[in-house]
Copies of this chain bind each other. A is one copy, B any other.
Amino acid sequence: MSDPTPAIIPVLLVGGAGTRLWPVSRKAFPKQFAPLLGAQSLFQASALRLSGTHFDAPIVTTNGDFRFIVTEQLAEIDIAPQAVLIEPSARNTAPAILAAALHAAATDPDALMLVAPSDHVVPDTEAFGASIAAGVPAARAGQIVTFGIAPTRAETGYGWLELDGPPGDGPTPLRRFVEKPDASAAAAMLAEGRYLWNAGIFLFTARTMIDAFRAHAPDFLPPVEAALKGATTDLGFLRLDPKAWSRLPDLSIDYAVMEKAPNLSVVRFSGHWSDLGGWDAVWREQLPAGAAGGSVTDPRSTAIDCTNVLLRSEADGVEVVGIGLEDTMVVATGDAVLVAPMSRAQEVRRAVAALKDKGARQAEAFLRDHRPWGWFETLVLGERFQVKRIVVHPGASLSLQSHMHRAEHWIVVSGTARVTVGEQVTLMAENQSIYVPLGALHRLENPGRVPMVLIEVQTGAYLGEDDIIRYEDAYARG
């Protein structure tokens, strides 16, 4: 990068349900948090791509449900965000970006900021960094620089960027945003050579963005300023004021600002990029480089006489076998199986809708339930008993609680637990167990430095999650 100081602040937008990648992506744990390609989640890969010497600590904008997943996943890759802004309700990208800009401007109005979705795939970090570097001077000079993807097909699922002429290596003025085109328009743009895909990646200074809102969407400023002013700090999160936030329109940054701003430049990014908009895209990403087709399997799946299939088992101990399939995707998790022709990838959301109608938990919830202190999953739910695996992060603590209808047996199988039952506090190591009688006040903590894993066996007539009375909670829950 030509001049690495001051560093760029990445703004990671984390939201959305991502129903097209069901059953791996669910409302409770969407696409960007899942390790769809490789060991890291898309969110982690995005955060890592925008880390290192040229970047400052990121600002993350997300919602209340995802705040603990965000910090957990960032901690796993040793990234400490400078701020996690909690949006009280979903308002699309415009309010979130303005909030991030105002937050950064309070420290340095000339801070360079790079807004990027957290669920895209950009494998060539170096090439991506070079494109960003190419945009820095223009951004410093007051331009909003957007990064356009060199198109490789007549895609109708994306917006496009029209330039005045064929893009070069540096920034080129943007003529206009083109909304998702029909097939013939897309084909024409692909042929012409001066159109790029709009990937929603923008580089600008905080001041430039705030000025752009002032000029083109002035109504956003007072509520976002009020939401920041009224924000409360809560366990390191900046929780924006819900009342002010509720006055904001639900609008994308493209509609609110970009389509009106005259100071837009485009830098072409020619490296590989995907928004992983469906299982067909995941399949394409996993094909050998340059291959147009083939079958993609993982160590838990077997393709026999298959052509162009994606067979994917997400669950330990679940074997997937396809025989004689063509252009088909099979995705299995521990609690759901999706099978569809590859050409129907965009219709996967219909599965979510159908399961929602049916009242099936799998529509939105995951087997594994993430909480501020860690996660748990039900291993078996019987007539009058339930067995759970509970994992508590180092230093974390569950609320002081009691249950009306169930007793619990706890067995520590890994790490160390500090357990309060009634007045008694016990330190428990691996292979120790304790009994929590019905009605007893109890708390579970991990005082150690490694995750603590506990098997909980519940017995009782009613075993719902709502049989809980909380007395004290480090995470300020009801």
* Chain A residues with a Cβ under 8 A of chain B: 23, 302, 304-305, 313, 317-325, 328, 330, 332, 334-341, 343-344, 347-348, 350-351, 354-355, 358, 360, 362, 379-385, 387, 389, 407, 409, 411, 413-414, 430-431, 433, 435, 453, 455, 457, 459
Residues of B within 8 A of A362 (CB): 319
B339 touches A339 (CB 8 A): yes
Flag if B431 contacts A414 (CB, 8 Å). no
Does A335 lie within 8 Å of B360, measured CB to CB? no
Tell me if A355 and B323 are in contact (CB < 8 A): no
Query: Which chain B residue has the least Cβ–Cβ distance from A338?
Result: B321
- Contact present for B351 and A321 (CB under 8 Å): yes
Contact B382 A453 (CB under 8 A): yes
In the assembled complex, how far is the CB of residue A21 from the closest CB belonging to chain B, in whole angstroms?
A: 13
Which residues of B have CB within 8 Å of A319? 23, 335-337, 355, 360, 362
Are A433 and B433 closer than 8 Å at their CB atoms?
Answer: yes
Chain B residue numbers with a CB within 8 Å of A455 are 385, 387, 457
Q: Please state if A324 and B302 are interface contacts (CB–CB under 8 Å).
A: no
Bound CA–CA A341/B325 (angstroms): 7
Query: Given A319-B335, A341-B325, A384-B413, are A351 and B389 also a contact pair (CB < 8 Å)?
Result: no
In whole angstroms, what is the CA distance A459 to B304 when docked? 38
What are 9 A-B interface contacts by the 8 Å CB criterion? A319-B360, A323-B341, A323-B350, A324-B344, A324-B347, A337-B337, A379-B387, A382-B414, A407-B431
When A302-B355, A337-B332, A337-B337 are in contact, do A413 and B323 touch as well, CB less than 8 Å? no
Tell me how far the C-beta of A360 lies from the nearest C-beta in chain B, rounded to whole angstroms: 5
A349's nearest neighbour on chain B, judged by CB, is B323
Closest to A313 in B: B337
- Assembled-state Cα–Cα distance A362/B301 (Å): 12
List B contacts of A350 (CB < 8 A).
Answer: 304, 323
**Are B340 and A325 in contact, with the CB atoms below 8 A?**
yes
Partner of A385, one of B322, B382, B384, B413: B413
A339 touches B354 (CB 8 A): no
List chain B residues, Cβ under 8 A from A348. 323
Chain B residues whose C-beta falls within 8 Å of the C-beta of A409 in the assembled complex:
409, 411, 433
Task: Give the contacting residue for A430; candidates B336, B337, B351, B459; CB below 8 A.
Answer: B459
Assembled-state Cα–Cα distance A418/B374 (Å): 37
Point out the residues of chain B lying under 8 angstroms from A351, CB to CB.
302, 304, 321, 323
Residues of B within 8 A of A322 (CB): 339-340
Q: Which of chain B's residues have a CB closer than 8 A to the CB of A323?
A: 338-341, 344, 347-348, 350-351
Q: Most chain-B Cβ atoms within 10 A of its Cβ — which of A305, A360, A413, A430? A: A413
Q: Are B304 and A320 interface neighbours, CB within 8 A? A: no
Complex CA–CA separation, A414 to B387 (angstroms): 13
Task: Give bound CA distance, A155 to B328, whole Å.
Answer: 30
**Is B355's CB under 8 angstroms from A337's CB?**
no
A384 cross-chain contacts in B, Cβ below 8 A: 413-414, 430
- Cα of A293 to Cα of B118 in the assembled complex, Å: 46
Q: Is the CB of B385 within 8 A of A414?
A: yes
| A92–B57 alpha-carbon span in the complex (Å) | 72
Known: A304-B350, A325-B339. 9 other contacts (CB 8 A): A317-B381, A320-B336, A322-B339, A323-B338, A323-B348, A324-B344, A379-B379, A409-B433, A413-B457
Q: Tell me, rounded to whole Å, the shortest Cβ–Cβ distance linking A126 to chain B.
A: 37
A109 CB, nearest partner CB in chain B, Å: 50
With a cutoff of 8 Å between Cβ atoms, the chain B residues found around residue A435 in the complex are 433
Asked if residues B337 and A383 are in contact (CB atoms below 8 Å), the reply is no
Instruction: Find the B residue at minimum CB distance from A379.
Output: B379
Give complex CA distance A459, B432 in Å: 10
Please, which residues of chain B bring their CB within 8 A of the CB of A23?
319
Closest 3 CB pairs of A and B: A385-B413, A323-B340, A321-B351
Q: By the criterion CB–CB under 8 Å, are A321 and B380 in contact?
A: no
| A310: min CB distance to chain B, Å | 11
Q: How far is the CB of A328 from chain B (nearest CB, A)?
A: 7
Shortest distance from the beta carbon of A368 to any chain B beta carbon, whole Å: 12
Nearest CB in chain B: distance from A141 CB, A: 50
Q: What CA separation (Å) do A339 and B322 show in the bound complex?
A: 5
Complex contacts, A407 vs chain B, CB 8 Å: 431
Cα distance A328–B324 in the bound complex, in angstroms: 10
| Residue numbers in B under 8 Å from A302 (CB-CB) | 351, 354-355, 358
Tell whether, in the assembled complex, residue B380 and residue A389 are in contact, meaning their CB atoms are under 8 Å apart: yes
- Cβ of B453 and Cβ of A431 under 8 Å apart? no
